[in-house]
Chains A and B, each alone.
Chain A
Amino acid sequence: MTNRTMTRRDFGSKVITVSAAAAAASLAAPAVLGAAKARVVVIGGGAGGGTVARYVAKGSDDIAVTLINDSPTYSTCFFSNLYLGGFRSFESISHSYDTLAADYGIEVVIDRAAGLDGNGRTVTLANGDTLNYDKAVVAPGIDFKFDAIEGYGPDAVETMPHAWQAGAQAKNLKRQLLDMEDGGTFVICPPPNPFRCPPGPYERISMVAHYFKSYKPHSKIVVLDAKNKFSKQKLFEDGWARHFPDMIEWLPLDITGGVKAVDVASNTIITDDEKFQASVANVVPPQKAGQIAQDAGLADESGWCPIVPETLASLQVPNVHLVGDAIIPGDMPKSGFSANSQAKVCAQAILAELASKQAFKPRFRNTCWSLITTDDSIKVGANYEATEEKIAKIEGFVSQADESDEVRAQTAAEARAWYDAITADIFG
């Protein structure tokens, strides 16, 4: 066996000590030395925050973990497109925190975190309660730049849903698609980079096309993109041509000049020179880190949060870590897979500091599957490492255009298995 022939040096090269950091943390966090347990408070119980909470809780009995989420159930954005396409029930993409509470001893608080004070190391809840922490993890996902498109403020989301946070928004869009007459026009406006889930809009287009093909075959899809190219573009375009000929019109930024305004009353989307009247409008506005991250001073002028790649520690506020869509992720895309991967690196850094656990060289990975139609799925993925300046890509792969139907069907089945695994990894 390889391990028997391993020298100390070989193995040691994979291990890093955190003694200096742990010492610094003990000064900052007296709870570690005393009888009281160290306290970790996680804001946001999604792909990132749920995973951090679970991995910290299972990694040490000496840390009290509190997980704050603003809703008692979490519906995943991943596979929400499949819900729109009629492949998944809403229940099958919704998860509770019961197992995290019952089996991992995590204190689950259902409320909105209203503020975080980095100096006092406290989190204040909307109900007025205050929680102390030794380490806070902020994983709120995204919020929207509601000043970017004229007329598209918070009030517009009921009529023209973004459905870029799951739950009520996804249900809203689904209802509108169900109510639409055959022969209608679905207008979708994918956002500029960087945004949550780069292939997401194009998987959504595929899923809506799949639904139209079966139930509303005279309908059209118009895509008013804020970009000139997109993730897995050749593969999606090839799939659209094969499965949904003449249904989808993709208009890049260079052609339309981008979405400038919307008129909610008439369900109209306005570009430089044209107006698009939609039967169903799906406007996905430009994005930024979740509001709590902005309010707590964790985001920089880009609207996203800078981090230390090896630990996911904030570069702006001490004793705070960040994972998921809210961070500046270097070469990683904003995905549930990435958030889950970052969360494990973050959990190990916290366990090293608060519970003196061994820490190993950080490793990151992402894989994103996208469904084009029932049994035709494509995937893209890569490995990443922490360098001094960012999370940097090492090597990756992407599906090929000439793959057999059998391979595509296997990829679709693989995505379903992945969904089961990652949600078990997040929620226990």
Chain B
Amino acid sequence: MAALKGSVLRPFAVLLFVCQIEAQAEDLYAYGEYLSGECLTCHRLDESAGQIPAIFGWPEDKFVEILAMYKHGARENAAMRNVAASLGDEEMAALARYFASQTPKESAQ
């Protein structure tokens, strides 16, 4: 079985970082959609908020600003700071784009 290692079972070994695709709106949205998965372990996509607020429907620039506050320590929550530490400018922009477009009704799905 070990022989399989490095061949068919390692698809990502043959994956290339794509440089030819256009950094278009759909790509940014698609990237935001992928990244949003990790937010939704803690943030619900509906109105019920509790101690972890809902995060859809923000203006994009404001959303990025808030994420930067966690990243740079202006907001203190340790869990959310750890999340923000892993986000670069592209990630923040993509997340802002994706969550700006979400509404609670759509998200019931």
Contacts and interface: CB of A to CB of B under 8 A. Distances in A.
Interface of A: 1-3, 6-18, 20-21, 24-25, 55, 58, 103, 297, 308, 310-311, 313-318, 337, 340-341, 344, 348-349, 353, 358-360, 363, 365, 367, 379, 381-383, 386, 394-397, 399, 410, 413-414, 416-418, 420-422, 424-425
Nearest to B16: A17
B51 A413 contact: yes
Which of A17, A58, A314, A340 is the most central at the interface, judged by chain B CB atoms within 10 Å of its CB? A17
A11 B15 CA distance: 16
Contacts of A381: 78-79, 82
A2 B30 contact: no
7 contacts: A16-B18, A344-B38, A360-B34, A365-B38, A414-B77, A417-B52, A420-B44
Contact of B22 (A8, A18, A25): A8
A413 B50 contact: yes
Contact of A8 (B1, B19, B38): B19
Interface string B59-97: 011001000000000000111011101100111111011
A262 B37 CA distance: 44
A17 B18 contact: yes
A218 to B, nearest CB: 36
Nearest to B44: A421
Which of B12, B35, B42, B50 is the most central at the interface, judged by chain A CB atoms within 10 Å of its CB? B12
Contact of B86 (A11, A17, A394, A422): A394
Contacts of B22: 8
B23 A11 contact: yes
B64 to A, nearest CB: 7
Given A341-B38, A397-B79, 6 more contacts: A16-B16, A348-B34, A358-B30, A399-B78, A421-B52, A424-B40
Which of A1, A15, A318 is the most central at the interface, judged by chain B CB atoms within 10 Å of its CB? A15
Interface residues of B, number: 58
Given A315-B4, A318-B9, A2 B89 contact: yes
B9 to A, nearest CB: 6
B42 A367 contact: yes
Contacts of B90: 2-3, 6, 10-11, 14
B9 A21 contact: no
A8 B86 contact: no
A313 B11 contact: yes
A422 B41 contact: yes
Which of A12, A18, A318 is the most central at the interface, judged by chain B CB atoms within 10 Å of its CB? A12
B52 to A, nearest CB: 4
A58 B37 CA distance: 12
B51 A410 contact: yes
Which of A337, A399, A417 is the most central at the interface, judged by chain B CB atoms within 10 Å of its CB? A417
Contact of A21 (B11, B28, B48, B89): B11
Contacts of B45: 424
B44 A424 contact: yes
A341 to B, nearest CB: 7
A414 B52 contact: yes
Contacts of B79: 367, 379, 381, 397, 414
Contacts of A20: 11, 14-15
A318 B8 contact: yes
A102 B48 CA distance: 22
Given A1-B60, A58-B109, A425 B28 contact: no
B44 A24 contact: no
Contacts of B38: 341, 344, 363, 365
